[in-house]
Amino acid sequence: MARVKIGELTVESPIFLAPLAGISDCAFRLICRRAGAGLVYTELVSAEGVHYKQSKTLKLAQFYSEERPIGIQLFSHDPAMLGEAAKRLDELEPDLFDLNFGCPVKKVVKRGAGAGFLEDLPRLSEAVRAVIAATRRPVTVKIRSGPSENNLNAVEAAQRAETEGAAAITVHGRTTAQGFKGKADWSTIAAVKQAVKIPVIGNGDVASPADMLCMLAETGCDAVMIGRGALGYPWLFSDCVDTLLGKAVHLRTPGEKWKLIEAHLNAAYADKKEVGVREMRKHLGWYSRGLRGAAQFRATVFRIDDPEQALNTARTFFLNTEPIPNLIDG
């Protein structure tokens, strides 16, 4: 299994967790690292929020040592503000900073942030330059294939980032216009890989070890980033690592699965108390997919705020249910 060299950082496993807004908090990152993710990222951290010292924003940038290696992902429409944020957050000593040039949310793009940078590549260059000047840590970039099917400019964006000193680039094989709909076009990832010398991380539609192998083979990318495929199944990281090592994928018992789910619940409560328990509801919903009685379980647990009650309800369900043969939820 090949290691990935990102600047001075060496990542042992080429299977990464994507930065997911509202999802990849400390608890989920810890679970994914435990499940085999080689590198994790924070949720999107607003550079403006850092500038104004907003407590919620600063909380998003915090992490535990057990999560390493970890990257802080920054977003803003303003290159100077991105540089300032990196300089301020450098004291947290993340393993790298990642610049979000791929968020397709309309209100974000309209401001020129996220994937809005793909519509103004000189400004993208300026942003990479500003952040690299503000920190000695590796700086990476996450982009999409382009604003639309008529403007697939990922190759130029990647080359610009490399020219400014970016240490790696992640390419999500969808356009800004697609959002998360349709099928990811991995050929764009392959084109970027051919055009730059820095590591390229492929992203989009990897939901199984077979998908991972196909992406690596079809694109030649150096690492694979998994986002939505890990929701409710963080074991996907272990499955991918085992596959790369030539090992059989481990079929987990309900007890083994519950052990990780329980750890996730406990980590969420330790990090955010009752708020963490409420935020775990969506994860418990994802964990329950394909199990008998999942719909009733969700209806019950989504009304629970008490940590102990949530833990007991989840324990009872996951240790006393079974998969539905045809995977139809019920």
Give the pLDDT confidence of 35-84 residue by residue, as tens digits: 999 999 999 999 999 999 999 999 999 999 999 999 999 999 999 999 99
Q: Does domain 4-244 have CATH number 1.10.287.370?
A: no
Q: For helices 209-219 and 235-244, what crossing angle results, to 10°?
A: 50
At 85, the pLDDT band (50, 70, 90 cuts) reads: very high
Rounded mean pLDDT, 2-12: 96
Euclidean distance between CA atoms 10 and 89, whole angstroms: 21
Give the Cα separation of 167 and 200 in Å (integer). 9
Residue 103 among the catalytic residues:
yes
The yes-or-no verdict on residue 326 having pLDDT over 90 is: no
Q: Which pLDDT score is estimated for 248?
A: 94
From the centroid of its chain, how far is CA 277? 21
- d(Cα 152, Cα 19) in Å, to the nearest integer? 23
Average pLDDT over residues 193-204: 98
pTM as predicted: 0.95
144 φ, ψ to 5°?
Answer: -110, 180
Pairing of strands 96-101, 70-75: parallel
- Residue 328 is predicted with a pLDDT of 44
The values of phi and psi at residue 204, to 5°, are: 125, 115
Which pLDDT does position 51 carry in this prediction?
97
Choosing from 103, 214, 221, 240, which is the catalytic residue? 103
Q: What are the helix and strand counts (H, E) for the chain?
A: 13, 10
| Ranges assigned E (strand) in 51-196 | 70-75, 96-101, 139-146, 168-175
For residue 293, the model assigns a pLDDT of 94
Inter-CA distances, 277 with 63, 194, 212, 228, 319, Å: 18, 45, 32, 21, 19
Per-residue pLDDT reduced to its tens digit, 137-163: 999 999 999 999 999 999 999 999 999
Q: Are 89 and 98 in contact (CB under 8 A)?
A: no
